[in-house]
Chains A and B, each alone.
Chain A
Amino acid sequence: DGGITQSPKYLFRKEGQNVTLSCEQNLNHDAMYWYRQDPGQGLRLIYYSQIVNDFQKGDIAEGYSVSREKKESFPLTVTSAQKNPTAFYLCASSGWRGETQYFGPGTRLLVL
């Protein structure tokens, strides 16, 4: 089955710790995106990547980092600089920028 997988489903972060969220797609899509969703809020763009080894900041990139070493993978690291990381994180992909974005199941990050 083609699709987008995110892991883990739940992630717990301690103070001062960096954590990495995984996103993998087997849709052969070029573009990948990371969004953050808070209760009662719209999705906000963190980072996006149009092609391997290239990525751009979205609207709320501070405290986050990404890499795009493979077409299929776009991991997101939540660093200790992100002071309010508790949220639902969604990864999406599209065939090209401007095409329909399809979403993964999400990772819920909680702070201990």
Chain B
Amino acid sequence: EDQVTQSPEALRLQEGESSSLNCSYTVSGLRGLFWYRQDPGKGPEFLFTLYSAGEEKEKERLKATLTKKESFLHITAPKPEDSATYLCAGERGSTLGRLYFGRGTQLTVWP
């Protein structure tokens, strides 16, 4: 069964305290791994797509990495405005467009 699991469910960080969010997947023939940010009551906002193990992508304080079994979203020196729920989703290569989402990690950064 295709599945994406995110951990931890919730994470509280002090401003400037770096950490990582985990996304483990068992999606058959993974074609792409997607990261989104979602603010309360809003639609998800696209962050990154990773396609192959070893790939890394960065955007401001965020860096996403991918291995054959999991992906990490590293947050360096976070600020309160980074507080949000971060979602990851895997796409199976044989069924393009079918994303399997994890439940998300709710990140809170306090000053």
List the interface of chain A (C-beta within 8 A of B): 4, 6, 31, 33, 40-45, 48, 50, 58, 90, 94, 96-98, 100-106, 108
Contacts and interface: CB of A to CB of B under 8 A. Distances in A.
Given A94-B97, A98-B96, A43 B87 contact: yes
B101 A43 contact: yes
A40 B34 CA distance: 19
Contact of B44 (A41, A90, A96): A90
B39 to A, nearest CB: 10
Given A31-B97, A100-B49, A106 B102 contact: no
Contacts, number: 57
Contacts of B4: 42
The listed residue with most A CB atoms (<10 A of its CB), out of B43, B44, B49, B104, is B43
Contacts of A106: 41-43
Contacts of A40: 103
Contacts of A103: 36, 43-46
Contact of B43 (A41, A48, A98, A105): A105
Contacts of B99: 43, 45, 101
Interface string B91-111: 100001111111110000000
A44 B102 CA distance: 10
Given A42-B87, A42-B102, A42-B104, A97 B97 contact: yes
A108 B28 CA distance: 32
The listed residue with most B CB atoms (<10 A of its CB), out of A33, A42, A96, is A42
B46 A100 contact: yes
Nearest to A9: B41
Contacts of B97: 31, 33, 48, 50, 94, 97-98, 101
Given A42-B89, A94-B97, A103-B44, 13 more contacts: A31-B97, A40-B103, A41-B103, A42-B101, A43-B89, A43-B101, A45-B99, A48-B97, A97-B97, A100-B46, A100-B49, A102-B46, A106-B41
